[in-house]
Amino acid sequence: MASPRAVQLSLRKPTHAVCVVGVETLVNVYSDVPKGAKTFGVSGSSEVKIYMVYDPSRVAEPAGWAHWPLDANVDVVVVADTVSKDLYDFKVKVSYFESQEAAALAHSVLYLTAVDVSLDVDTGRTGKVKKGSGDKKTWRWGPGGSGAILLVNCDRDIHGSREDLHANHLKSLEDLQDMSPMVLSCGGPDELFESHKLVLKASLSDSRRLKVFCARGGTSLSNYKQVLGPRHSSYEVERHSGERAIQFYVEGLAFPDASFSGLLSLSVSLVDTRPLSEVSVFTDSVTFRVAPWIMTPNTQPPLELYVCSVTDIHGRNDKFLEDMSHLATKANCKLVVCPRAENRNDRWIQDELEFGYIDAPHKSFPVVFDSPRNRGLRDFALKRILGPDFGYVTREIEFAGASGLDSFGNLDVSPPVRVGNTDYPLGRILIGGSFPKPSGRRMARVVRDFLQAQQVQSPVELYSDWLSVGHVDEFLSFVPTSDQKGFRLLLASPSACLQLFQEKKEEGYGEAEQFDGLKHKAKRSINDILADKHLRRDSAHVQKCIDWNREVLKRELGLSESDIVDIPQLFFLKGAYAEAFFPDMVNMVVLGKYLGIPKPFGPIINGRCCLEEKVRSLLEPLGLRCVFIDDFLFYHQLLGEIHCGTNVRRKPFTFKWWNSVP
């Protein structure tokens, strides 16, 4: 806690000073003491509380009208509890004595003007500003924490080319709802402010990451003036006569990142302008934390399903769109089709963007994270998704192009988990990279740094560089369940597939054929697949890669074997990298209990695909509904599946991120 401001007294003339209501002022009773004085006493106006600060081991509190000794290091602290009506209308008198019985040798008089100067924000996280609510300078995590929250104003309330944060003036009154309110109390005699001024400040670095607008009543945009921001780190407040409080609105301009913790501070100072060099009488400060961008896992209810309309050598993907429409209807989810004119025949909408949200006590809205892959869909998020209460953020890779691992099929998030004694109430982000290989492809540092800096979904890097495309969604997915655990991790499993085929062979179905029903793919019998040494060797290699990830996921997500479901899936190596042998079933879209799963075209036994039947037997007892959808020509043959070709916006968590403890 800062030491109180000290005021020096004089026996020759009264001292005049300014104090702030509720703030301690130290009265130096030792600065001018009459000769022979040994004790002193203090009295004052009823509006001023007087406190004696002393060491009880050195001096006892005087009884009755007795005085305080001057040789015991007793400090006098005064606090005004109301605002002055006139200049210097509060009085504190210090009297000095030679003995307890003698008359006063001399008196020092202090005249005070008490003003109400306070910078207040929503430190209690209730959605409303409350004056004088605790420590405003320190931001604390957790359910008992405190500290104001700032949203990055990254939506677009008025039609234009960029997010609202790029505007140098307020474009709509609706935009104020995206900002955090801040109130400056400035009560006191008007005459005082003829010789004193209020200065609102941010550090140079903080001023580049926020803007402050001053409200002057009325409903016109002209009533709101930007006073702090990237070009203005200081503002002399324009206080009007009789004004006791001034309303401000604060917006964030940047998300937390490698060079930015997310904390921003503002201060207001009461400055005495009379000396040759201006003197700060009092400073009050507040600290904000910029709300992080938060991903939503498959366990959150779906709101919108996005898919692209495309045309290629096989024609239009109308049947796939129809299947997605039926699936969305079952899940009571809105379908959004991105037309070819907007996607430029880029079907991989999962790779292009990731939906998340930002949240503060006063406001929450979705924010789309646009990947740096920048292919046909590069403008879709900015031009078609960005809008009122729908934000946008991106990270660009400087001096180099994006790799395949920078696509957001390589970005996922787990459901909430507990690992040992550590809770992750918003889950943990999962990305793919080259570890444990000594070198290889990784997600770009600029993206990894951004994800890490959000703090509330501590990322885990998995091994995905064994795949040709290299995305985590090729070997894992999460599905919601109705039991106590609430979810299962699905992992692709060559071993489970080979075991299933071996069982079917032993049951006498060795001649049943994989790819049955496909015109464009040569069929292969179960016997042929099991006898293929190259395929079995490749499967063994892939299983080792997935098993390595399995152990990482168990350790980093606190999972047990019972939390994992092995989905039968074969891969083959093309050069050093693996590709799915048949449509990759874990690469599914999850809409509540309805799963849109790539149709595997497995061996038909007793009129049913044995792969589909196996997956149903694993997932439907968990309360899930498996819907197998043909994506072979339009997606699988291009090294992608349903998850790659769709995207889902989901409901935000009800849990508030500021109640977590990263």
Looking at residue 505, what DSSP letter applies?
I
Return d(Cα 4, Cα 517) in angstroms, integer.
84
Look at residue 541 in the predicted model and tell me its pLDDT.
98
Residue 239, pLDDT > 90, answer yes
**Lowest pLDDT segment from 187-196, 435-444, 647-656:** 435-444
Return d(Cα 237, Cα 199) in angstroms, integer.
6
Look at residue 66 in the predicted model and tell me its pLDDT.
83
Look at residue 63 in the predicted model and tell me its pLDDT.
86
The structure tokens listed for 530 are 């099991």
Look at residue 2 in the predicted model and tell me its pLDDT.
65
Taking a C-beta distance cutoff of 8 angstroms, is the pair 334, 303 a contact?
yes
Looking at residue 159, what DSSP letter applies?
S
DSSP string, 315-351: EE-HHHHHHHHHHHHHTT-EEEEE-HHHHTT---HHH
Please name every residue paired with 573 in a beta bridge, in sequence order, or none if there are none.
578
Residue that is written with structure tokens 């395949």 in the block = 404
Residue 133 confidence class, pLDDT cut points 50, 70, 90: low
Residue 217 confidence class, pLDDT cut points 50, 70, 90: confident
**Lowest pLDDT segment from 68-72, 88-92, 588-592, 636-640:** 68-72
Tens of pLDDT, residue by residue over 386-414, are 999 999 999 999 878 899 999 999 999 99
- Averaged over 204-218, what is the pLDDT? 93
Tens of pLDDT, residue by residue over 598-614, are 999 999 999 999 999 99
Backbone angles phi, psi at 399, to 5 degrees: 65, 5
Tens of pLDDT, residue by residue over 289-341, are 999 999 999 999 999 999 999 999 999 999 999 999 999 999 999 999 999 99
* Identity of residue 602: G
Q: Provide the Cα torsion 386, 387, 393, 398; round to 10°.
A: 50
Residue 548, pLDDT > 70, answer yes
Q: How many residues does the chain have?
A: 662
Look at residue 277 in the predicted model and tell me its pLDDT.
85
Look at residue 536 in the predicted model and tell me its pLDDT.
97
Return d(Cα 365, Cα 476) in angstroms, integer.
28
User: End-to-end distance of the chain based on CA atoms, in angstroms?
Assistant: 26
- In degrees, rounded to 5, the angle at the alpha carbon of residue 542 between the alpha carbons of residues 541 and 546 is 125
* Identity of residue 322: E
Task: List the beta strands (DSSP E) in 504-613.
Answer: 513-514, 524-525, 564-568, 571-574, 577-580, 589-591, 594-598, 604-605, 608-609
Cβ contacts of residue 163 below 8 Å, gap of 6+? 153, 154, 155, 156, 386, 391, 392
Return d(Cα 325, Cα 329) in angstroms, integer.
6
Tens of pLDDT, residue by residue over 316-329, are 999 999 999 999 99
Residue 644, pLDDT > 80, answer yes
Backbone angles phi, psi at 42, to 5 degrees: -130, 140
The helix/strand count (H/E) of the chain reads as 10, 44
For β-strands 224-228 and 5-8, DSSP reports them as unpaired
Return d(Cα 380, Cα 128) in angstroms, integer.
36
Return d(Cα 232, Cα 251) in angstroms, integer.
14
The b/e string for 576-603 (b: 16+ C-beta within 10 A; e otherwise) is eebbbbbbbbbbbbbbbbbbbbbbbbbb
Look at residue 327 in the predicted model and tell me its pLDDT.
98
Cβ contacts of residue 99 below 8 Å, gap of 6+? 38, 39
Largest CA distance in the chain: 119
Cβ contacts of residue 90 below 8 Å, gap of 6+? 44, 45, 47, 48, 80, 84, 111, 112, 113, 114
Q: Give the closest residue to 372 by CA, choosing from 337, 399, 340, 336.
A: 399
Look at residue 43 in the predicted model and tell me its pLDDT.
95
The b/e string for 372-409 (b: 16+ C-beta within 10 A; e otherwise) is bbbebbbebbbeebbeeebbbbbbebeeeebbbbbbbb
Please name every residue paired with 110 in a beta bridge, in sequence order, or none if there are none.
15, 92
- In degrees, rounded to 5, the angle at the alpha carbon of residue 482 between the alpha carbons of residues 480 and 485 is 75
Percent of the chain with pLDDT over 70: 100
Residue 360, pLDDT > 80, answer yes
**Phi/psi-derived region of residue 639, left when phi > 0, alpha when psi is between -120 and 50, beta in every other case:** left
More confident residue, 131 or 116: 116
Tens of pLDDT, residue by residue over 174-193, are 999 999 999 999 999 999 99
Percent of the chain with pLDDT over 90: 91
The structure tokens listed for 456 are 């509330």
Taking a C-beta distance cutoff of 8 angstroms, is the pair 92, 45 a contact?
yes
Look at residue 399 in the predicted model and tell me its pLDDT.
77
Residue 1, pLDDT > 60, answer no
Q: Would you call 260 helix, strand, or coil by DSSP? A: strand
Kindly give the interhelix angle for 494-504 and 610-619, rounded to the nearest 10 degrees. Answer: 120
Residue 368, pLDDT > 90, answer yes
Instruction: List residues with catalytic annotation.
Output: 351, 471, 473, 644
The rounded mean pLDDT for the chain is 96
